[in-house]
Structure 1
Amino acid sequence: MTVAPQILRLSLTDFRSWRTATLQVSRRLVVLTGPNGAGKTNILEAISFLAPGRGLRRATLDAVAREDGPGTWAVAAEIEGAQGLATLGTGVATPPGAEASHARKCRIDREPVGSATAFAEHLRLVWLVPTMDGLFLGPASERRRFLDRLVLAVHPDHATRVSALERSLRARNRLLENPSPDPHWLDAAEHETAELAVAVAAARAETVQRLAAALFERGSGPFPSAGLALDGWMEGAALDRPAIALEDQYRKALRDNRGRDAAAGRTLDGPHLTDLAVTFAPKGIAARDASTGEQKALLITLVLAHAELVATMTGIAPVVLLDEVVAHLDPGRRDALFEALGALGAQVWMAGADPAAFAGIAAQADLFEVAPQRVTLSR
């Protein structure tokens, strides 16, 4: 049985442009409209901090604090989630430079938890924002981050493993900077690196395999079908070979390539270099070669299929955040998007400058008018 969590009340304090804001929500469709710069995206970003990671802008803790504020910030949400009614809260309680730890804190029902990973028991999130529009044309690192966000929605500990892998690779690189590195220390670093690398690769491979199957089942429709593949040997082998065998293979590769990696100043083999290959199926071409409009439609396809996959794999339909998406669609695709979102059964938060773009769902949505330091429920 799938549950569909719903944010009932959202509160922001000293977050981005907002000194304070509170939104009471009663419906599964939530629309934020208002002029550019009013703070609509900031509200969506605040929600995105109710998931592991650095939010939809990948911001630092200092960056999201209000510019002329005290340096602290808070986001809280009362939700009807996978575990029933709960209050999730996160933020920074001490300003930069304070003696106390300037770190992000997380609470559930006002009780401290170790990290935002614990929020995943109550709430899952997926999003599509304008900064993702260049995904297919940008560097592989951007597609890896997108891929890892897909994985994180179904495996809440994935971000921790990715971060640990990055630290382990840096530690190995530092050892290789020494003209005569201690082989025992290198062996230990490579042992840890291999374990983490295989865990990261396996989670990616499983998620992409399932998502590719879901995309195939969706077939053609108002939004184009897509093909997915991972350009990385470890991910390619992770579903067919035992983890311990892959770890041994990667340790050998790391050991054999110490000289090459030392000369390069970085590790030249591993899942930290994997790319996500996306195909625009209707034309059988790489997504990067599709038109701008086709790429936008393809992103919507991926997000919709991913939201369905999260619900299938976790039993929790994710809350969907869409920033400035509908304004770029023709009326037919706009209606198709609204229909697809309704079929998800999830709560969906959408933001856009033009209220007319949401006329097709106005009767079914909570409509908020957003202005600087003011957000008002219009219906």
Structure 2
Amino acid sequence: MLRLTRLRLTDFRSWPTLDAGFGAPVVAIAGENGAGKTNLLEAISLLAPGRGLRGARMGELGRRDDGAARPWAVAGRFASPAGTFDIGTGADPDGASDRRVFRLDGQPVRAQADLAERVAVVWLTPQMDRLFQEGASGRRRFLDRLAWALEPGHAREVAAHDNAMAQRNRLLAEGRGDARWLAGLEDAMARHAVAATAARRALALRLNAVMAAGTATGAFPAARMDLLCPIAAALEGQPALAVEDGLRAALAADRRRDAAAGGAARGAHRADMGLTHLPKDQPAAMCSTGEQKALLISVVLAHAALIAEARGFAPLLLLDEVAAHLDQARREALFEALAALPAQSFLTGTDAEVFRPLAGLADRFRAAPGILAPEGESGSP
């Protein structure tokens, strides 16, 4: 099991400092609203590739002092099947860059994607309760986090596609019609779009097999994930190279239209994720909020089991206020499923009593502003 055994924070969000140790496969954190529980989960999420569970910018992460954000740092020690390692991230201590810096065992990390070889994190937050009512971008980000855990190189493919697309968009907007330059960017877009889509498609196929078996999801409803994407549809019947050729030609033909629209009409950025409640044969968008939460829980439980089998370690699960739309039976089913998973889970909630059934299995903490203390004890910042 991949396990976060120690978390240290310095001037991160509402936390001036924190040095906390975790020993159990489940960590339950209770506290009132505003106690900093979500901030703790966000800090953990920043130890993996990406911008964390809030998608925040650098300037939003430092603790505020007289209106200015302080330099901040997050560090985690992990135990894994391959041994112990440390990951750190935060503001550049020398102030030479306004970009987030990373350290792996004290050494600089060349690219965030390199971290995906060591650690993966998946989360559910209250903001995701509207995942199926809002735009495709949120669903695509959720899908990509799942795909990164299965295929660490996926992060590089998505980033390379988006970089080539941004350059192409800029050239088209400026009216700079250098055909060879545009052709090179469209070639990059096509190659990376097909590679990214293939990884998303492989994830969906393998995840659906796990969810169909039902052994990892327990009492939560069976679900089916669908990748809604013309590139994915093309890959079902054509070799990848043929799909690349077709996309490359289509991008070249779309230059005038894309220039007028201000962006590319085709590419990996147009993908969407669909989820179906199989017992009811109903799309998630038509399900109740509680049913949607249950479907997402099914996905993350199945995903943890899939990644554990495929890579030898499961992602950390960050479940913020996960019990908010679950009745008592579903809460108990969730706790049973988490106990059976080869994954470490972090849960938050406002009511400590909700986590009482986890006694003996979980590390239980009480959060207050600047304080994280074992349940039943008091602490000071």
Name the TM tier (shorter chain): over 0.9
1 CA distance for matches of 2:168 and 2:139? 25
Shift of the alpha carbon at 1:54?
0.6
2:353 maps to 1:356:
yes
1 CA distance for matches of 2:232 and 2:133? 22
1 CA distance for matches of 2:39 and 2:290? 26
Shift of the alpha carbon at 1:178?
4.9
The match for 1:211 among 207, 211, 223 is 207
Match of 1:315 in 2: 312
Shift of the alpha carbon at 1:70?
5.6
1 CA distance for matches of 2:204 and 2:74? 32
SS at match of 2:130: coil
Match of 2:39 in 1: 42
Match of 2:164 in 1: 168
SS at match of 1:282: coil
2:113 maps to 1:117:
yes
**Deviation digits for residues 72-95 of structure 1 (CA, Å, limit 9, x no counterpart):** 111111221232122221111348
| 1:66-77 equivalent positions in 2, closer than 5 A | 66-68=63-65, 71-77=70-76
2:145 maps to 1:149:
yes
Whether the 8 Å contact between 2:339 and 2:361 is mirrored in structure 1 is no
The match for 2:232 among 229, 235, 256 is 235
Whether the 8 Å contact between 2:73 and 2:91 is mirrored in structure 1 is yes
Shift of the alpha carbon at 1:228?
1.5
Deviates more, 1:107-116 or 1:283-292: 107-116
Shift of the alpha carbon at 1:30?
0.9
Deviates more, 1:352-361 or 1:156-165: 156-165
Match of 1:5 in 2: 2
Shift of the alpha carbon at 1:360?
0.6
**Deviation digits for residues 274-317 of structure 1 (CA, Å, limit 9, x no counterpart):** 11111111211111011111111111111111111211221112
SS at match of 2:60: coil
Shift of the alpha carbon at 1:246?
1.4
Whether the 8 Å contact between 1:81 and 1:123 is mirrored in structure 2 is no
Shift of the alpha carbon at 1:53?
0.4
Shift of the alpha carbon at 1:240?
5.0
1 CA distance for matches of 2:75 and 2:7? 6
Shift of the alpha carbon at 1:21?
0.8
| Equivalent AA in structure 2 for residue 252 of structure 1 | A
The match for 1:202 among 198, 202, 224 is 198
Whether the 8 Å contact between 2:41 and 2:318 is mirrored in structure 1 is yes
Match of 1:262 in 2: 259
| Equivalent AA in structure 2 for residue 148 of structure 1 | D
Shift of the alpha carbon at 1:119?
3.0
The match for 2:101 among 96, 100, 105 is 105
Match of 1:91 in 2: 90
Whether the 8 Å contact between 1:77 and 1:88 is mirrored in structure 2 is yes
CA RMSD of aligned residues (A): 1.9
Against the structure 1 CA distance between its residues 102 and 180, is the aligned structure 2 distance closer, same or farther, given a 3 Å change threshold?
closer
Match of 2:379 in 1: none
Whether the 8 Å contact between 2:119 and 2:315 is mirrored in structure 1 is yes
Match of 2:285 in 1: 288
1 CA distance for matches of 2:5 and 2:237? 44
Whether the 8 Å contact between 2:308 and 2:342 is mirrored in structure 1 is no
Match of 1:277 in 2: 274
Shift of the alpha carbon at 1:364?
1.9
**Deviation digits for residues 127-171 of structure 1 (CA, Å, limit 9, x no counterpart):** 111111111111112111111111112222322322221221122
The match for 1:224 among 208, 221, 226 is 221
**Deviation digits for residues 34-84 of structure 1 (CA, Å, limit 9, x no counterpart):** 111011111111111111001111111221111227631111112212321
2 CA distance for matches of 1:29 and 1:49? 19
**Deviation digits for residues 216-241 of structure 1 (CA, Å, limit 9, x no counterpart):** 12188521111211111211233553
| Equivalent AA in structure 2 for residue 104 of structure 1 | R
The match for 1:185 among 176, 181, 194 is 181
**Deviation digits for residues 312-371 of structure 1 (CA, Å, limit 9, x no counterpart):** 221112221111012431111111101100110221111111001011112221111111
Whether the 8 Å contact between 1:151 and 1:203 is mirrored in structure 2 is yes
Against the structure 1 CA distance between its residues 285 and 179, is the aligned structure 2 distance closer, same or farther, given a 3 Å change threshold?
same
Whether the 8 Å contact between 1:10 and 1:78 is mirrored in structure 2 is yes
1 CA distance for matches of 2:70 and 2:346? 27
The match for 1:378 among 353, 375, 378 is 375
Match of 1:298 in 2: 295
| Equivalent AA in structure 2 for residue 342 of structure 1 | A
Unaligned runs of 5+ in 2: 377-381
Whether the 8 Å contact between 2:187 and 2:248 is mirrored in structure 1 is yes
Percent of aligned positions with the same letter in both sequences?
46
Deviates more, 1:210-219 or 1:145-154: 210-219
2 CA distance for matches of 1:204 and 1:83? 26
The match for 1:29 among 21, 26, 39 is 26
Unaligned runs of 5+ in 1: none
Match of 1:136 in 2: 132
Whether the 8 Å contact between 1:14 and 1:72 is mirrored in structure 2 is yes
| Equivalent AA in structure 2 for residue 340 of structure 1 | A
Deviates more, 1:318-327 or 1:351-360: 318-327
Whether the 8 Å contact between 2:2 and 2:343 is mirrored in structure 1 is yes
Against the structure 1 CA distance between its residues 82 and 19, is the aligned structure 2 distance closer, same or farther, given a 3 Å change threshold?
same
SS at match of 1:269: coil
Whether the 8 Å contact between 1:261 and 1:267 is mirrored in structure 2 is yes
Against the structure 1 CA distance between its residues 304 and 113, is the aligned structure 2 distance closer, same or farther, given a 3 Å change threshold?
same
